[in-house]
């Protein structure tokens, strides 16, 4: 088999490596004006393959053995969450398909409501302590 196929696969893998790095999975931090830091997190799926064959000439006088083949690759980057850092607290905010029913919407809001309730009680404790 010709040396062309391994070279094609190596070149395809090298190009995929150029496209996909750590910043594709864990993005650069984004800091908002009010001090909240968001770090995007993604899922990366990679696929590649290739194939080829040497063509053997029927003419015994020809020394040529032409090669025919190809290589391909693909990358899919899917955002899955944001890491939210606020006042020393870290929490994951998943990127999900929008809820389709009222019950889904209520379940999705529970963590935010609990955080607001906890914040309310913390502020009352501080107020009472003063």
Phi, psi of 98 (to 5 degrees): -55, 140
Instruction: Give the pLDDT confidence of 11-53 residue by residue, as tens digits.
Output: 877 877 777 776 677 888 999 999 999 999 988 888 877 777 7
Look at residue 83 in the predicted model and tell me its pLDDT. Answer: 92
Look at residue 72 in the predicted model and tell me its pLDDT. Answer: 78
Burial label for 71, CB within 10 Å (0-12, 13-18, 19+), is: buried
Look at residue 85 in the predicted model and tell me its pLDDT. Answer: 93
Percent of the chain with pLDDT over 90: 14
Q: Which of 7-11, 54-58, 63-67, 120-124 has the highest mean pLDDT?
A: 120-124
Look at residue 111 in the predicted model and tell me its pLDDT. Answer: 83
pLDDT at 2 over 60: no
Distances in Å between the Cα of 49 and the Cα atoms of 19, 27, 74 are: 17, 28, 9
């Amino acid at each position: 088999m010709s040396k062309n196929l391994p070279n094609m696969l190596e070149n395809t893998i090298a190009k995929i490596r150029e496209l996909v790095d750590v910043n594709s999975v864990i993005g650069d931090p984004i800091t908002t004006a009010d001090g909240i830091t968001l770090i995007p997190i993604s899922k990366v799926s990679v696929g590649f393959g290739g194939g080829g064959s040497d063509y053997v000439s029927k003419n015994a006088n020809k020394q040529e053995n032409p090669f025919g083949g190809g290589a391909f690759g693909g990358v899919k980057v899917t955002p899955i969450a944001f890491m939210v850092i606020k006042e020393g607290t870290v929490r994951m905010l998943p990127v999900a398909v929008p809820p389709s029913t009222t019950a889904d919407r209520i379940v999705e809001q529970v963590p935010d409501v609990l955080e607001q309730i906890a914040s309310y009680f913390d502020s009352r404790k501080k107020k009472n302590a003063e």
